[in-house]
């Protein structure tokens, strides 16, 4: 069943991005640079060069532009009309999707972390929302890391 989605974009300072992550109450993050990938719970302490953080209602993605400025994208299930970002035009709809993440015990998989955040396990599933703009898939947005008991 498709539901309405909301997409916002713009640039923010590091301070404003950290404030946005706190305001949106993100539960899980993945932040990375060329040298390191850092998964964790809650907002990241170090934003690094790129990242994503999410809750069950939204995802925030960022990319560092310079020392203190980030390109930011928010994919949301709710209308946050008062964000310091602009709404992205189009008719946005979403639908739920669930997928299994890589089993970190597989020999071919060698990430820089040992367990998935939120479930503290080597096996996990990811609940996502697929975002469509005017009927065309543009984003797959994580919402929650779940246990995978298979």
What would the pLDDT profile of 69-97 be if each residue is shown by its tens digit?
Answer: 999 999 999 999 899 999 999 999 999 99
| pLDDT band at residue 145 using 50, 70 and 90 as cut-offs | very high
What would the pLDDT profile of 24-62 be if each residue is shown by its tens digit?
Answer: 999 999 999 988 888 999 999 999 999 999 999 999 999
Give the strand order in the sheet containing 136-147. Answer: 3-4, 92-100, 124-133, 136-147
CB 56 within 8 A of CB 72: no
CB 57 within 8 A of CB 79: no
Strand-pair category, 58-66 with 37-41: unpaired
- Please tell me the distance from the alpha carbon of residue 99 to that of residue 47, in angstroms, as a whole number: 26
Question: Residue range 3-31: average pLDDT?
Answer: 97
| pLDDT band at residue 107 using 50, 70 and 90 as cut-offs | confident
- pTM across the whole model: 0.92
CB 14 within 8 A of CB 70: yes
- H-type helices in the chain, by residue range? 14-23
Tokens standing for 123? 């096996």
- Please tell me the distance from the alpha carbon of residue 29 to that of residue 70, in angstroms, as a whole number: 16
């Amino acid at each position: 069943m498709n539901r309405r989605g909301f997409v916002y974009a713009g640039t923010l300072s590091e301070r404003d991005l950290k404030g946005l992550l706190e305001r949106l109450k993100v539960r899980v993050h993945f932040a990375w640079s060329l040298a390191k990938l850092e998964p964790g719970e809650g907002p990241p302490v170090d934003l690094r060069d790129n990242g994503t953080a999410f809750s069950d209602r939204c995802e925030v993605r960022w990319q560092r532009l310079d020392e203190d400025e980030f390109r930011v994208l928010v994919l949301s299930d709710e209308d946050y009309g008062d964000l310091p970002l602009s709404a992205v035009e189009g008719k946005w709809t979403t639908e739920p999707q669930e997928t299994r993440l890589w089993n970190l015990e597989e020999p071919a998989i060698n990430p820089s972390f040992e367990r998935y955040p939120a479930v503290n396990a080597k096996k996990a599933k990811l609940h996502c929302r697929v975002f469509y703009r005017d009927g065309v898939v543009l984003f797959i947005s994580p919402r929650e890391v779940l246990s995978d008991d298979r």
